[in-house]
Amino acid sequence: MRKSKIAGVGRYLPERVVTNDDLAKLMDTSDEWIRERTGIQERRFFELGKDTTSNMGTRAAKMALENAGLTPQDVDFIVFATLSPDYDFPGSGVLVQRELELPTIGAIDIRTQCTGFVYGLSVADQFIKTGMYDTILIIGSEIHSSGLDMTTRGRAVSVLFGDGAGAVVLQASDNDHGILSTHLHSEGEYAEELAVIDPGSSRAIPRTQARMIEEGTIFPVMNGNHVFKHASTRFPEVIQEALKLNNYQPSDIDLLIPHQANLRISQMVQRLLSLKEDQVFNNIQRYGNTTAASIPIAMSEAWEQGKIKEGDLICLAAFGSGFTWGSALIRW
């Protein structure tokens, strides 16, 4: 059976840099408070009238295609991961198809939040392995900043997130390099521990009401301690699952690229797996948590910096709302 290889990587970050001190002007927080708990120093926020979830994804996709030596016309299918689409419907995948001026190829959206890119990569991998498509764009793109509670009430969540997009080109390969395996899990028992509850289709008529704004149910809520505890367990668990299936040990990993949720979680995973610092890539310090975009943004930067080379064993892992978690093991 043929494999899927990552032929190109790309990213797009909005120009506006928002520091912890900038947030301290809006809510009762401080640079020290945020750094100590999350490792984040700054993040990017989108520019109204310039950046959209879809066009940021398109820019990242164009960079990935250029790095792969391909054109948009080479793309057979689009997988778009986001929790912050431009519209309730349609999804953002078709908007990218329009922006790239592609023919009538298929496009789907993935809604598994922080694990969206890993889930999307797994879906695309199956399409290629079965021979349905040869070249697929997988995009993660998020605009969080317009949906956060930028007051003291919402500070525990709002200081975490940033905006941005990342993309990869996945292409069929006949050699031993490529995606070795992907592993996906969920545990809906804890769905409300990290969620945006309103507006929802099953609770209010009409669907959007002023009460939701007043009560703050339109903003993300998170049981931070609960999420941290589960993430610290599931991250190493799903990484070990991928390694075991492919007969590898943590020491064999050339680079682990975790979803950039919290620097403290990444550091804990590093300790639990006895990995060295140069085996783990983190950029949350500069971008915050960009959810579905975080892994492809990090992959793009790591590749550009020479930290991903041909033949390297690369592991991707993510945990987030749902709860969902997953991993992918790749021979680059």
The pLDDT of residue 1 is 76
Sheet containing strand 164-173, strands side by side: 3-12, 164-173, 135-142, 77-81, 106-110
The pLDDT of residue 33 is 97
Where residue 288 sits, what CATH number does that domain have?
A: 3.40.47.10
Both 158 and 37 in a single domain? yes
Both 103 and 145 in a single domain? yes
The pLDDT of residue 164 is 98
Cis check: omega of the bond before 206, within 30 degrees of 0: yes
Calpha distance 136→178 (Å, rounded): 14
> Among this protein's residues, is 230 annotated catalytic?
no
Calpha distance 147→159 (Å, rounded): 12
Both 196 and 156 in a single domain? no
- CB–CB of 323/113 below 8 Å? no
Calpha distance 45→138 (Å, rounded): 22
The pLDDT of residue 203 is 85
Which segments in the chain show pLDDT lower than 50? none
Both 110 and 24 in a single domain? yes
Number of separate domains in the chain: 2
Both 124 and 269 in a single domain? no
Pairing type for strands 324-331 and 178-186 reads: antiparallel
Residue 277 burial (CB count, 10 A): 9
Both 188 and 152 in a single domain? no
- CB–CB of 266/258 below 8 Å? yes
pLDDT in tens, 19-48: 999 999 999 999 999 999 999 999 999 999
Both 190 and 51 in a single domain? no
The position carrying tokens 């792969």 is 68
Annotate 144-164 with three-state secondary structure: CHHHCCCCHHHHHHHCCECCE
Q: Which two tokens stand for residue 153?
A: 């009430």
**Domain closes at, from 158, 175, 192:** 175
Calpha distance 267→282 (Å, rounded): 9
If phi > 0 it is left, if psi is from -120 to 50 it is alpha, else beta; for residue 306 that is: left
Catalytic residue among 55, 114, 230, 315: 114
What phi and psi, each to the nearest 5 degrees, are found at residue 293? -85, -15
> Among this protein's residues, is 315 annotated catalytic?
no
The range of the structural domain enclosing residue 185 comes to 180-331
Both 157 and 188 in a single domain? no
Both 53 and 185 in a single domain? no
Catalytic residue among 67, 144, 259, 315: 259
Both 201 and 293 in a single domain? yes
**Domain closes at, from 141, 175, 209:** 175
Cis check: omega of the bond before 199, within 30 degrees of 0: yes
Percent of the chain with pLDDT over 70: 100
**Domain closes at, from 114, 148, 175:** 175
Rounded alpha-carbon distances, angstroms, from residue 319 to 127, 230, 243, 266, 292: 24, 9, 17, 11, 11
The pLDDT of residue 287 is 98
Both 111 and 199 in a single domain? no
pLDDT in tens, 64-77: 999 999 999 999 99
Both 131 and 10 in a single domain? yes
The pLDDT of residue 204 is 81
Quick one: which of 86, 87, 90, 135 has its CA closest to 108? 90
Calpha distance 209→201 (Å, rounded): 12
pLDDT in tens, 301-314: 999 999 999 999 99
